[in-house]
Structure 1
Amino acid sequence: MTSSTEIKQHLAHLRMRNLQPNTAIHRKGQLERVEAWLGKNLIEATPDDLSRWQRSLTVSASSVQTYTSHVRAFFLWAYESELLGHDPTRCLVMPKIKRRSPRPIPEDDLRVALLGALHNHTMFCWLLLAGYCGLRAGEIASICRGDLRIEPTGGGFLTVRGKGGHERIVRVPPTVVEELRSFLHQSGPIFRRRNGQPYTPNYISQLASEHLKGLGLSYTLHTLRHRFATVMCDLGADVRDVQQLLGHKDLGTTTMYVAYSARRSSGSVDKLSEGLSTFRKRQKSTRRKKPDTT
Structure 2
Amino acid sequence: MKPVSYIAQSPRLLDQLREVLRYKHYSLRTEEAYVYWVKFFVRWHGRNGQVRHPRDMGAAEVQQFLSMLATQRNVSVSTHNQALSALLFLYREVLGVQLPWLDEVQRPTRPRRIPSVLTTAEVAALFGAMTGVELLLAKLLYGTGLRLNEGLRLRVKDVDFDRRVLVVREGKGGKDRVVMLPHTLHVALTAQMAQARALWEHDRQQHQPGVEVPDALAIKYPDLGQRWGWFWLFPAPRLSIDPRSRIERRHHLYEERLQRAIKLACAAAQIHKPVSVHTLRHSFATHLLQAGTDIRTVQELLGHSDVSTTMIYTHVLKVAAGGTASPLDALASLSP
TM > 0.5 fold call: yes
- 1:27 corresponds, among 34, 40, 43, to 34
Q: Equivalent residue for 1:110?
A: 123
Match status 1:136 vs 2:179: no
More off after superposition, 162-171 vs 201-210: 201-210
Q: Distance in 2 between matches of 1:75 and 1:177?
A: 50
Q: Report how many residues are paired.
A: 260
More off after superposition, 242-251 vs 256-265: 256-265
Spell out, residue by residue over 1:67-105, the C-alpha distance to the aligned partner (whole angstroms, 9 max, x if none).
Answer: 2223223333246xxx22426533432111111113211
Q: Give the conservation status (yes or no) of the 8 Å contact 1:23–1:164.
A: no
Task: Give the gaps of 5 or more residues in structure 1.
Answer: 271-294
Spell out, residue by residue over 1:19-40, the C-alpha distance to the aligned partner (whole angstroms, 9 max, x if none).
Answer: 3333323333333332332334
- 1:217 corresponds, among 229, 253, 271, to 271
Q: Distance in 1 between matches of 2:302 and 2:53?
A: 39
Which amino acid in the other structure matches residue 16 of structure 2? Q
Secondary structure at the counterpart of residue 169 of structure 1: strand
Percent of aligned pairs sharing the same letter: 21
Match status 1:101 vs 2:98: no
Match status 1:145 vs 2:201: no
Task: Give the gaps of 5 or more residues in structure 2.
Answer: 1-9, 47-51, 201-229, 240-250, 326-336
Q: Give the conservation status (yes or no) of the 8 Å contact 2:91–2:98.
A: no
Q: Distance in 1 between matches of 2:257 and 2:79?
A: 19
Instruction: Mark the CA change 1:26 to 1:204 in structure 2 (over 3 Å): closer, same or farther.
Output: farther
Secondary structure at the counterpart of residue 115 of structure 2: coil
Structure ID, larger Rg? 1
RMSD between aligned residues: 2.7
**1:6 shift after superposition:** 4.1
Spell out, residue by residue over 1:123-148, the C-alpha distance to the aligned partner (whole angstroms, 9 max, x if none).
Answer: 11221122111112222222222222
Secondary structure at the counterpart of residue 100 of structure 1: coil
Q: Equivalent residue for 1:86?
A: 99
Q: Distance in 2 between matches of 1:146 and 1:96?
A: 41
More off after superposition, 55-64 vs 224-233: 55-64
Which amino acid in the other structure matches residue 216 of structure 1? Q
Match status 1:16 vs 2:5: no
Q: Equivalent residue for 1:276?
A: none
Match status 1:194 vs 2:222: no
**1:265 shift after superposition:** 4.6
**1:60 shift after superposition:** 1.8
Q: Give the conservation status (yes or no) of the 8 Å contact 1:133–1:228.
A: yes
Q: How does 1:35-114 map to 2 (within 5 A)?
A: 35-39=42-46, 40-57=52-69, 58=73, 59-78=75-94, 83-86=96-99, 88-114=101-127
TM-score where L is the length of structure 1: 0.77
**1:227 shift after superposition:** 0.8
Q: Equivalent residue for 2:178?
A: 169
- 1:231 corresponds, among 287, 290, 299, to 287
Secondary structure at the counterpart of residue 160 of structure 2: strand
Spell out, residue by residue over 1:207-266, the C-alpha distance to the aligned partner (whole angstroms, 9 max, x if none).
Answer: 433432343323221111111001111122221221111122332120111232245456
Instruction: Mark the CA change 1:171 to 1:12 in structure 2 (over 3 Å): closer, same or farther.
Output: farther
